[in-house]
Amino acid sequence: MAVVLKVLLILALVVVGLFILTFTVYIFNLDMKLTALIEPWLLKHYDKIERDTHL
């Protein structure tokens, strides 16, 4: 019983931890702030790709 309770407690802590983490990302828009940093790097990469550019 104690083991089950312990597992449930750990699970609950994991869920709460995940919730706090993801909710923080969500409410402070951290996901978008991160991707905004990635975009310029990607654009530089696209400029380097060799392409068969023509009509």
Partner 1 sequence: MAKEIGADRLGDFYKDGGKVRKRREWRGLRDTMYDYSRWLVIMGTLAKFVMKPRNVKAMFRYRWMANYLAVPMMVDRHTQGLRGEYLRMCHTEQDLIIDDVAKLLDNLFRGDRRIGNDREFSKKVVLVDENEMTAVMMGFPTLKGLSRETPSTYVSVLLNQHAAEHYIDLAQQFGLAGDVCPMPEAELGVSIDDDAPVLGACAIQCNTTCDGSLLGNGVISRRLEQEDGIPVFQLAAPLRHREDDVQEYAAQEIRNAIAFIEKHTGEKWDWKHYFECARRVNVATECRQEWLEMNRTPYPQVFGSNLALYTETNYMAICGKIPEFEKADRKLTELARQAFAKKKMAAKEYRHRAIIWGVQSHYYMDFLVWLLNCWGIVPLTDMLSMVSTRRIAEEDTPENREQAIYDMAWLTENMIMRNRTHGGYRVLLDELWEFTQQFNADMVILWEHMSCKALDGMHGLFEDRARELGINLVWVSHDLFDPRIISRQGVRDQINNYMRSVMREEPLDPSLEVLHDEESW
| Residue 20 near residue 14 (C-beta atoms within 8 A) | no
Q: What do you get for the CA distance between the two ends of the chain, in Å?
A: 72
Rounded Cα gap, residues 34 and 20, in angstroms: 18
Shortest Cβ distance from residue 12 to partner 1 (Å)?
18
Q: Which residues in 5-24 contact partner 1 (CB under 8 A)? A: 22-23
> Residue 31 interacts with partner 1 (CB under 8 A)?
yes
Q: Which residues bind partner 1 (CB under 8 A)?
A: 22-23, 26-29, 31-33, 35-36, 38-39, 42-43, 45-46, 49, 51-55
